[in-house]
Structure formats: structure tokens, C-alpha cells
Homo-oligomer: A and B are copies of this chain.
């Protein structure tokens, strides 16, 4: 059997395609938190075999987006206020660490990347692309830390947080706060090399968002 058919594209591998699809569906809430994830169902939904699905679910387990129940399959990781607050705390600690390391090793090359990713985030229009650009900006801030594991943790936690944003607002945008100014503050401090100011700006950015989200997450 030949797999080069429908869209004509070959997304590197069935496992990766399944992983990305499932991840997105969990992040935005198409697959509800706590919901049982049945192999056969996903298999037909994604049009791949059971093996790639299982492997994708295993990978999502590492991302803490899926839980494996001993001999009883998988389910989308549950959400809770406690979990949200734990994510927020961990992010504050780990991003503070990563940001300071990034700034400590700063180079003009990194600063240029920063300015660029910030600029792109401002220009972007669609919601989807804004999500991507926003994550890129934040990860660029931490991306000079020379600490791949730390960056991986931060990226994971960022994604886990996205989930609560969608949960709070159905995927809609932020509230009335001036997010753009907050981003600008972080950028300026980072480019200036002022680690303390950058850290304060970043953490208050997260804490403000955290408070807003907490207020919206009554039903948990």
C-alpha cells in the first residue's frame, strides 16, 4: 500500500502527525480535560494505525497533557485550580532562572533575535499565528540560557498554561490590560541587560495574567 495520496504531503511520520494533532486538540479543548482517549476512536479520527496513536499518547504523557491509567488506556490530563497555580509557580521560578541566564550570556545576535520576534508578534493578525508568535517571543527570551533542559521545562509549562487560557476564555484574547506595554517593558529591560528589571517585568506579566485567569476559572 502506498501512503502518498490525499493531500499530497507527507508529514514526516504518522506518529509525529498524530502527536501534533492530539496535542493541539488537547490544548484548545477539543479533547476535554479528563476525557477518556480511546485508541480506536482516535485511530479512525486521525486515519492512522493504532501504533502511532499509542506512541503519540505516550509522548503526550511526558508533556503531562495525557495520563496513562495502568491497563486501562489513556485520558486527557485533568485540570484544576491547584494545577493551574502549580504551573504558574513553576513558571515563575524556572523562567526567572532561564531569563537571568539568558541575559547573563547575552550577545548582540540574541538581542537581534529578541527584537525581531517582538516585532513579528506585534504585526501578526490571526489568533493562531499570534499564539505562535507569542510563544516564540517568550521562548526567545529564555533561549540564550544555554540550558536545554531548562528551556524544555519552560516550553512544556508554557503549553500547559495555554490550556487554561482557552479554558478561561474559549480561546479568546486577553482582557483590557495593556499587554503590549508589558511585553515592551520585558523586551527593553532584556536588551538593556538589566536582569532584575526584566525578571520583575516578566514575572508581573505572568502574575497579572494568572490573577485574571484565576478569576475566570470559577468552574474548577
Question: Is A136 located at the chain interface by the 8 A CB criterion?
Answer: no
Report the interface size class on chain A. Answer: 20 to 34
Chain B nearest CB, measured from A20 CB (Å): 14
Chain B residue contacts of A42, Cβ below 8 A: none
The residue that A59 contacts in the complex, of B61, B63, B70, with Cβ under 8 A, is B61
A13 at the interface (CB under 8 A from B): yes
- Please list the 7 inter-chain residue pairs (A to B) with the smallest Cβ-Cβ separation, ordered nearest first: A62-B62, A58-B58, A86-B147, A55-B58, A58-B59, A86-B149, A93-B97
Total copies of the chain: 2
Q: Once the chains bind, are A149 and B58 in contact (CB under 8 Å)?
A: no
Q: Which residues from chain B contact A90 at a C-beta distance below 8 Å?
A: 147, 149-150, 153
Q: Among B55, B63, B70, B94, point to the contact of A54 (Cβ < 8 A).
A: B55
User: 8 Å CB contacts to B: which residues of A54-101?
Assistant: 54-55, 58-59, 61-64, 70-71, 82-83, 86-87, 89-90, 93-94, 97
How far is the CB of A25 from the nearest CB of chain B, in Å? 19
Q: Which residue of B lies closest to A63 (CB)?
A: B62
Contacts of A87 in B (CB 8 A): 149
Q: Decide if A34 is an interface residue (CB 8 Å cutoff).
A: no
Chain B residues near A94 (CB-CB < 8 A): 93
Question: Which residues of the other chain, B, contact A59 by a CB distance below 8 angstroms?
Answer: 58, 61-62
Evaluate contact between B13 and A71: CB separation under 8 angstroms.
yes
Known contacts A12-B70, A61-B59, A89 near B147 by CB under 8 Å: yes
Contact of A55 among B13, B55, B64, B93 (CB under 8 A): B55
Q: Which of A12, A58, A64, A87: most chain B Cβ within 10 A?
A: A58
Does A51 sit at the interface, judged by CB under 8 A?
Answer: yes
Q: Name the CB-closest residue of B to A153.
A: B153
List B contacts of A55 (CB < 8 A). Answer: 54-55, 58
CB distance from A206 to the nearest CB of B (A): 16
CB-CB under 8 A from A89, the residues of chain B are 147
